[in-house]
Amino acid sequence: MMQKEMLQEDLNPAEEIPISTRHWKWHYWRLAAQIAAMLLFVYFVVWPRAGGGGIVNNLFFKLDPLAGIASMLATRTWISDMALGIATLLLTIAAGRVWCSWICPLGSLFEWMPSLRLDRTKLYIHSRWRYIKYFLLFTILIAAASGTLAFMWLDPITLITRTVSMISQRFLDVPFLILFAAVLGLNFAVSRFWCRYLCPLGGLLALFSKIPFIRHKVNTDKCTTCRAVLKPGTVQQDASPCLVGCPAHNDIQGYVSLAAKGRFREALELIKETSPFPSVCGRVCHHPCEWQCNRRDIDAAVSVRSVERFLADHDRSNGGSYVPKLKPEREEKVAVIGAGPAGLAASYFLAKEGYKVKVFEKLPVTGGMMAVGIPIHTLPRKALSDDIGTIQKMGVEIRTGVAFGEDVTFDSLRKEGYKAFFLATGLHEDTRLNLPNEDMPGVLNGVKFLRDVALGNPVQVGRKVIVVGGGNVAVDAGMSALRQGAAEVSLVSRRKTRAWEEKVNEATEEGIKIVNGLGPNRFLTENGRLSGIEFKRCISSFNERGELDIKYDDTDLTRFEADTVIVAIGQAADLSFMKGQSISTNSGGLIVADPITLETPIKGVFAGGDAVRGPKTIIESIADGKEAATSIDRFLNSQDLRAGRNGNIKALTKSQKVICYQADRVQTPCLDPKERVKSHDEVFLGFTEEMVLEESQRCNACASRCVQSCPMGAIYPWQRGAANPEECISCLDCIDACPNQAVSFGQRIRN
């Protein structure tokens, strides 16, 4: 069944794992230990009458293994009570840097102290800064070996003890107080800055904590990388913004994390839980997930699209594309009209549920606008055919060259036993300018031009080409014109170009000129042939209410010479097939369907994609196909089509990760602009395995609780086993944070 559970499984396809009722809540135990340690520190240091105060009789000084080692080196003797320091070292070896988070008063102070947390916004520290603490550690030890303890003020216990002693004795060492104020200030700005980068005692304990007897372990069978935990029996949490930003709700954090571990096949399987087109979307998706990526607050969004493309290409080059498992076959037959992204996506998800699906396509090729609207240099037909081939391997039959309304109708298909229908006919017609001479030779329509180029039909363009329009179709038409032999291409729009920024950049790299603020006035002719086009200045496009209301200055005219003019101002639906089919349309010439269930006024007939919503993107059409499959499944099982489909998923709008190191976004290699316009070869070459590993590891794992809970940034979702022992301070917050009890402490767990 594909009820509300479909959305839940999309968000977390992992097996359901119930939460244990036993939970130690380590955070509260640690807080109690911190308070007790702080009270003891105040007793021995801040209140002098307790035992002399200062450093000599300070219990914490005796617990401090760095002080003990430095004193031994300086005096060449064993100091008394060294057993306490040795105990601290043994505890560190056994259980990690437990001193730092459970005992150290300075560490507790930094944790409790309010922080601006500038490291969550624009202040990010390079990971190599953490080696400073090792430099300070060896400075103290070398100085001690030379017979001086002059650098012991770098030790945290010595630092705070000496500061308290100076204040209590009303003695001011100005340089020392400036140092202490700087340490506090840094920790106020960047949480636990001292602990991460400067503390030499932390460096010493980190060295010993690399010898693990007891360490955090992660049961990878239980770990789901959290993603969006919506299944019964698990703790619900907010989802990652990339998942929420994706119209199809692809588990982006999940497959990026798997890619970072080198588990490429598993990552692709996860993608295909929610999308049948990884090869296509890995090349042409407008990636709204990247717009929502919290990594943008640090440097740049993770290159999700390039990672997805690599996973699809890698799977194809290593034994063929992965085909999802199907549920037992059912008797019901479903007809899908249109083999574009919405229609094929619906077929994919219906086939997974066991339905018999047949797709009817008017064009001679499969793929809809993916095949005849997107240029080959952007989406090679091999990549498209591989994704479509997977759908066919699932049992979906696709018939091309079949016109609905002529070759087949609702009545004829019902007689063949079809119980439900999905209309996904797309927008394959051009919007016209309605100007004189628009039909003369040399004036082409953008959608038809791209279709003819894709199908290999004869297309002739002159040396000077003007493209009227500012959308993605206009930019694609301009770049295709260059590859068809045009020497000069200009794209003219009445307002700022609405195409995707990266597509516009690609066009300008190839030499296409962008002109904004002009609207077409008339076509120019000379001796009965097209000679150019005249534009008038656009004053405004919208009125005060935000409604489209174009106004021009008819006296401000600009002329462009042209051999060819390509009009690409919009797309329209060809609904001629609807005659006699009782299908309703709205004033915009689109099919009327419920925006949530996609049901039309005709029982058992559903519609989606561009034919219903107007020009949208491929991933939005895929999302419509998924929703249509859900509705058809419910319809055939006599279930409520609307129940539980409010689509409310809350995103983590800001990463909770305390520390994020800067790492430049890996750039996708591409062909040289001067060379690529000479052929229809694919422009972008894709990631190598090394590149995808590097880029995937930039992901902050926004919805992974253990990663977000770690105050030291020691956990990364691609690490197997435990946290980084060099950074981990054994606070055990990750254990409390894990909703599936996958993180443990004090026992060995199979990885």
Q: CA–CA separation, 151 vs 139, rounded Å?
A: 7
Q: Map out the domains of the chain as residue ranges.
A: 26-209, 333-428+573-636, 432-570
pLDDT value at position 747? 42
Does the fold of domain 432-570 match that of domain 333-428+573-636? yes
Q: What CA–CA distances, in Å, run from 665 to 112, 197, 699, 703? A: 34, 25, 11, 21
**Which is more confident, 303 or 80?**
303
Q: Sheet with 356-361: list strands edge to edge.
A: 397-400, 356-361, 333-337, 418-423, 605-607
**Amino acid identity, position 532:** G
Q: What is the mean pLDDT of residues 273-292?
A: 92
Output the pLDDT for position 39. Answer: 84
CATH code matching the domain that covers 432-570, chosen among 3.40.50.1970, 3.10.290.10, 3.50.50.60, 2.30.29.30: 3.50.50.60
CB 634 within 8 A of CB 3: yes
Global pTM?
0.76
What is the pLDDT at residue 656? 54
**Amino acid at site 37:** A
Task: Collapse the DSSP code of 134 into the 3-class scheme (helix H, G, I; strand E, B; otherwise coil) and give the result.
Answer: helix
C-alpha span between 126 and 662 (Å, rounded) = 6
Query: Which pLDDT does position 258 carry in this prediction?
Result: 85
When mean pLDDT is compared over 72-86, 104-118, 248-262, 279-293, the highest value belongs to 279-293
Tell me which architecture the domain covering 333-428+573-636 has in CATH.
3-Layer(bba) Sandwich (3.50)
Report the distance separating Cα 729 and Cα 731, nearest Å. 6
Q: Give the per-residue pLDDT at 85.
A: 76
Give the least confident one: 122-136, 140-154, 198-212, 312-326: 122-136
